[in-house]
């Protein structure tokens, strides 16, 4: 059973002390022995979001690594949806706006999947049929990886932490699209459609047009974001009944593929999760996000499933009663994607919590 180190928020002092303590407990110096370049995978937060992991924690990790002779860089990937972070240029602008600068971090921020989110290394695994996972190239080229995640709710996976950071955060647009594609909208109730065109306006991808007053989808452009479904005032649109389950299965499968690739490529990986400013939705939301729990603290492990499983259990203890747990928060079982990842060797749901 994997150990998960937990530093409660009451015992946390400065970001430097928090990160140094966790990296030492994980014995990262030994884990990364013989490595030179370390990729620190973060989520930089959408433009307008305020609850992503604060740059001071990332800067502390950079300091710890640099003081021990590692060459660190900070990284994230482009988004699938059209928006401020869908290219490397946009990502770098938003990273700087959100405080991830060379000056604040002590290391450069580099986009992992190239200028347009298409630069990756293919990794074939037996449990994914009809798609070859494409891992963002920077992770292939780095010697070791430190995944720093924000523990919070997520509209489509119930919880977003390390597994989500691997599955969606460490891959190119092609593999992001593969995971999202089950969530494909269609006109389920033509009799309810008034031809108002709200679905067309909702789609930044320009994947919907009205033909004779009814929506027609260009699925090759659709990224399955669900925006049109939510926006339709008469609920004429829907996604397939098992879309959420299939999406979560794919998230788990891809995370397991990324973990498997890192093992085969002999890249040691450590995971730190910051369970502060715990929000209902993910850090892609372009505005301040609803806080649903008291700050919990900081978790660390070498097992991404265990660190997520422990984060969910702990955060639920600290969640404000009116939200009623992660499953209730967004109507999605928060451990579904973890079970899928675990069943394919990414880690264990059971863990030993070591309180620091
Ligand atoms: S938003 Fe709904 S009602 Fe309006 S055109 Fe689209 S499908 Fe029809
Ligand atoms: S789900 Fe709807 S809004 Fe989103 S990309 Fe597809 S057609 Fe556009």
Residue of minimum CA distance from atom 6 in ligand 1:
199
Q: What average pLDDT does range 306-325 have in this prediction?
A: 97
Q: Which of 186, 194, 222, 226 to mutate to test the pocket of ligand 1 (most atoms within 8 A of CB)?
A: 194
Residue of minimum CA distance from atom 5 in ligand 2:
222
Residue 356 confidence (pLDDT): 96
Q: 330 alpha carbon to ligand 1 midpoint, in Å?
A: 24
223 and 248 assigned to the same domain:
no
Q: What is the CATH number of the domain that holds 219?
A: 3.30.70.20
Choosing from 196, 215, 238, the residue where a domain stops is 238
Whether the CB of 226 sits within 6 Å of ligand 2 = yes
Q: Which of 75, 148, 62, 58 has the alpha carbon at shortest distance from 111?
A: 75
189 and 121 assigned to the same domain:
no
118 and 207 assigned to the same domain:
no
pLDDT in tens, 172-205: 999 999 999 998 999 999 999 999 999 999 998 9
335 and 217 assigned to the same domain:
no
Whether the CB of 207 sits within 6 Å of ligand 2 = yes
Whether the CB of 225 sits within 6 Å of ligand 2 = yes
Whether the CB of 205 sits within 6 Å of ligand 2 = yes
159 and 217 assigned to the same domain:
no
Whether the CB of 202 sits within 6 Å of ligand 2 = yes
**From the alpha carbon of 237, which atom of ligand 1 is closest?**
7
Q: What average pLDDT does range 245-267 have in this prediction?
A: 97
Q: 235 alpha carbon to ligand 2 midpoint, in Å?
A: 15
Q: What average pLDDT does range 203-208 have in this prediction?
A: 93
Statement: residue 46 has pLDDT above 90: yes
Residue 227 confidence (pLDDT): 85
44 and 107 assigned to the same domain:
yes
Phi-psi region of 160 (alpha: psi -120 to 50; beta: other; left: phi over 0): beta
pLDDT in tens, 80-89: 988 999 999 9
In this prediction, residue 8 has a pLDDT band, given cuts at 50, 70 and 90, of: very high
Whether the CB of 237 sits within 6 Å of ligand 2 = no
Three-state SS for 161? coil
**From the alpha carbon of 231, which atom of ligand 2 is closest?**
3
Distance, in Å, from the CA atom of 182 to the CA atom of 177, rounded to the nearest integer, reads 9
265 and 229 assigned to the same domain:
no
For the chain, the straight-line distance linking the first and the last C-alpha, in angstroms and rounded, comes to 18
More confident site: 315 or 220: 315
Q: 44 alpha carbon to ligand 2 midpoint, in Å?
A: 24
Q: What average pLDDT does range 298-306 have in this prediction?
A: 98
pLDDT in tens, 80-137: 988 999 999 999 999 999 999 999 999 999 999 999 999 999 999 999 999 999 999 9
In this prediction, residue 252 has a pLDDT band, given cuts at 50, 70 and 90, of: very high
Distance, in Å, from the CA atom of 24 to the CA atom of 8, rounded to the nearest integer, reads 16
In this prediction, residue 224 has a pLDDT band, given cuts at 50, 70 and 90, of: confident
202 and 338 assigned to the same domain:
no
**From the alpha carbon of 208, which atom of ligand 2 is closest?**
7
**From the alpha carbon of 81, which atom of ligand 2 is closest?**
5
pLDDT in tens, 338-348: 999 999 999 99
88 and 230 assigned to the same domain:
no
The mean pLDDT value of the chain amounts to: 96
Total domains present in the chain: 2
Ligand 1 pocket by Cβ (under 6 Å): 193-199, 215, 232, 234, 236-237
Q: 177 alpha carbon to ligand 1 midpoint, in Å?
A: 24
Q: What is the 3-state secondary structure (H, E, C) of 36-100?
A: CEEEEECCCCCCCCCCCCCHHHHHHHHHHHHHCCCEEEEEECCCCCCCCCCCHHHHHHHHHHCCC
ipTM for the predicted complex comes to: 0.99
Residue of minimum CA distance from atom 2 in ligand 1:
232
191 and 309 assigned to the same domain:
no
Statement: residue 296 has pLDDT above 90: yes
Residue 183 confidence (pLDDT): 87
Q: 194 alpha carbon to ligand 1 midpoint, in Å?
A: 6
Q: What is the CATH number of the domain that holds 248?
A: 3.40.50.11440
In this prediction, residue 15 has a pLDDT band, given cuts at 50, 70 and 90, of: very high
129 and 217 assigned to the same domain:
no
Choosing from 215, 238, 261, the residue where a domain stops is 238
**From the alpha carbon of 221, which atom of ligand 2 is closest?**
5
Contact between residue 54 and residue 15 where contact means Cβ atoms under 8 Å apart:
yes
251 and 151 assigned to the same domain:
yes
Residue 220 confidence (pLDDT): 87
Q: Tell me which residue range forms the domain holding 312.
A: 2-178+243-355
Percent pLDDT > 70 in the chain is: 100
């Amino acid at each position: 059973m994997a150990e998960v180190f937990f530093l409660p928020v009451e015992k946390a002092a400065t970001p430097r002390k928090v990160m140094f303590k966790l990296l030492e407990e994980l014995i990262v110096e030994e884990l990364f022995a013989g490595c030179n370049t370390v990729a620190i995978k973060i989520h930089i937060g959408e433009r307008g979001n305020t609850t992503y992991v604060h740059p001071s924690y990332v800067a502390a990790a950079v300091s710890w690594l640099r003081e021990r002779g590692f060459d660190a860089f900070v990284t994230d990937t482009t988004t699938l949806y059209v928006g401020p972070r869908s290219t490397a240029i946009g990502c770098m602008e938003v990273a700087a706006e959100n405080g991830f600068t060379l000056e604040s971090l002590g290391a450069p921020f580099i986009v992992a999947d190239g200028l347009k989110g298409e630069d990756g290394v293919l990794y074939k695994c037996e449990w994914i049929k009809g798609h070859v996972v494409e891992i963002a190239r920077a992770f292939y080229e780095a010697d070791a990886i430190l995944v720093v995640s924000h523990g919070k709710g997520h509209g489509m996976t119930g919880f977003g932490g390390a597994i989500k950071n691997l599955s969606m955060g460490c891959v190119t647009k092609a593999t992001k699209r593969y995971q999202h594609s089950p969530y494909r909208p269609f006109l389920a109730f033509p009799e309810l459609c008034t031809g108002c065109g709200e679905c067309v306006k909702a789609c930044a991808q320009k994947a919907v047009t009205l033909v004779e007053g009814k929506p027609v989808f260009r699925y090759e452009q659709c990224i399955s974001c669900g925006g049109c479904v939510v926006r339709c005032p008469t609920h004429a649109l829907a996604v397939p009944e098992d879309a959420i389950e299939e999406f979560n299965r794919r998230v788990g499968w891809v995370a397991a593929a990324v973990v498997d690739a890192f093992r085969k490529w002999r890249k040691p990986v450590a995971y730190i999760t910051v369970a502060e400013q715990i929000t209902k939705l993910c850090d892609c939301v372009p505005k301040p996000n609803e806080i649903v729990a008291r700050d919990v603290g900081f978790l660390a492990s070498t097992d991404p499933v265990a660190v997520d499983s422990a984060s969910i259990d702990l955060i639920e203890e600290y969640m404000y009663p009116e939200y009623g747990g992660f499953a209730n928060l967004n109507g999605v079982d928060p451990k579904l994607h973890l079970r899928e990842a675990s069943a394919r060797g990414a880690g264990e749901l059971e863990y030993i919590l070591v309180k620091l």
